[in-house]
Chains A and B, each alone.
Chain A
Amino acid sequence: MRYALYLGCTIQSEQYGYEASVRETLPKLGVELVDMKGASCCGFPALNSVSKLGWHYLSARNLAIAEDMGLPLLPLCNGCHLSFVETKHFLKEDPELKNIINMNLEKEGLHYEGSTRVVHLLEVLHDEIGAQGIGEKVVKPIGGVKLAAHPGCHAIRPSDLQRVDDAEDPQKLNSLIKALGAETFDYPEKIDCCGSQLAVASGRTTLKIAGDKLKAVRSYGFDGLVTTCPFCFKMYDGRQRAIRGALKDDTLEVPVFYYTQLLGLAMGSSPDRLGLQMNMSPVDGLVERMTE
């Protein structure tokens, strides 16, 4: 298993806990991650709303780089993953658009054919390595902890494009959480949005949408929330203090983790190697329980 690792804007510029935990855990599971040279933003959400052509250009350009590398592309962000899949779909459907994009790519010495396979982290973990394969690497099972799965909108919708899991009943992240020895169960708000893409237009509404979900997660008795999307993580973890302020609820404290951070703990890595010092939500208590 060898992949071109696509970090994207948010992870490489601030979500270091995700990147560190991916780099720490995946090689131990037999996955080789190859860094890309010359990559750029995928175009979503920067350009999708203002220049459809610009958006597809940026996505196609990263797909073209992966094509040159001869490797499947592994974006770690749900938004980037959907962006690549959707661009591939449009360029296949629309040869004229593909031509226009290739005419521009030529100026950068690149060419897009459309042969790059795009994979999601959940697919690598669940479909390729498998819950059983992961379970075999667990040396410190995470027992007695109830964790809510948050796959994130762009991983599962829209189902008419190649997505990662069932649009209405996604179970892959649940199965991966169970593979670590932790408990998980479904809850009504599981496939609800974190609201992060609204931050550019209305910060207050964004905090309300994210806060309502955190309140729901707390009300069902979960000890924490788990995701693999940097935008969702940023909302629930990085903005949790602001959410408490916006909702006027000082007691709303929910530990939030990237799945790969928990995977690393279960595989015996130290919290520092997994960037757990970067989580802003109150994770210390749970990390202690998981590492004792």
Chain B
Amino acid sequence: MLLVPEINEVEVRFISKMLSRLVGEMNAEVCDQCGKCSSACPVSKEIEGFNPRQMIAKVSMGRLDGLLKEDAIWTCTTCLKCRERCPEDISPYDVILILRNLAYRAGYSYPAGYDDFIKGVKESGFISRPQAVRGRGGVKVSRADLGLPEVSGPGDMAKFDGVIEGIIRAGK
């Protein structure tokens, strides 16, 4: 089931495996639509239209494409309450993250912040680099000011970046 053609083969195999494990056997009978996921969800309370129960209904009916293009899949806080409380062991959280992976591969829109995360990791090994931080008194303090040791990253950044590039960008 190739939803998106021409994606890196390994990544697709992996994502497909995750997807089929989570929703492959899912049909309208697997989820009782009890709504424990939505009632536990901190985002459902705040953002109209964010509804994990409905997302699972759409997935179980095979209506993935619309979901992949919706902003909603990007607004989960990953609190995991839906996964914890589902009486049928369906995990809306995991389904949402798989949908994000697919949407990203398919070239649909996603929050720009993820590009910054990836850039940071590829350049230094980390999302962010040590910075001087303002404390309560307004004075900026560095790691050294607090006697904290220097941070080390991947020893060979070129090799590290090459591997990450190969995994993330392949097929994009």
Q: List chain A positions with a Cβ less than 8 A from chain B.
A: 7-10, 12-14, 16, 19-20, 23, 35-41, 45-54, 57-58, 94, 97, 100, 104, 107-108, 153-154, 157-159, 167-168, 192-193, 195-202, 205-206, 208-209, 275, 277-280, 283-284
Contact = CB atoms under 8 A, between A and B. Distances in A.
B163 A46 contact: no
A63 to B, nearest CB: 15
B104 A49 contact: yes
B31 interface: no
Interface string B99-142: 01100100000110110011011000111111101011101010
Interface in B145-167: 146-149, 151-156, 159-160, 162-164, 166-167
B79 A153 contact: yes
28 contacts: A7-B151, A12-B126, A12-B151, A13-B131, A16-B141, A20-B146, A39-B153, A40-B125, A40-B126, A41-B125, A49-B101, A50-B110, A51-B11, A52-B101, A53-B11, A53-B167, A54-B164, A54-B168, A58-B121, A104-B167, A108-B156, A108-B159, A154-B80, A193-B81, A197-B77, A201-B74, A209-B42, A283-B136
Interface residues of B, number: 67
A13 B123 CA distance: 15
Contact of A19 (B10, B11, B125, B148): B148
Given A58-B121, A278-B136, A193 B77 contact: yes
A216 to B, nearest CB: 13
Nearest to A37: B152
A205 B136 contact: no
Contacts of B141: 16, 277-278
Contacts of A168: 84
A16 B133 contact: yes
Contacts of B97: 48-49, 52
A198 B159 CA distance: 32
A277 B81 contact: no
A52 to B, nearest CB: 6
B68 interface: no
Contacts of A37: 152, 155
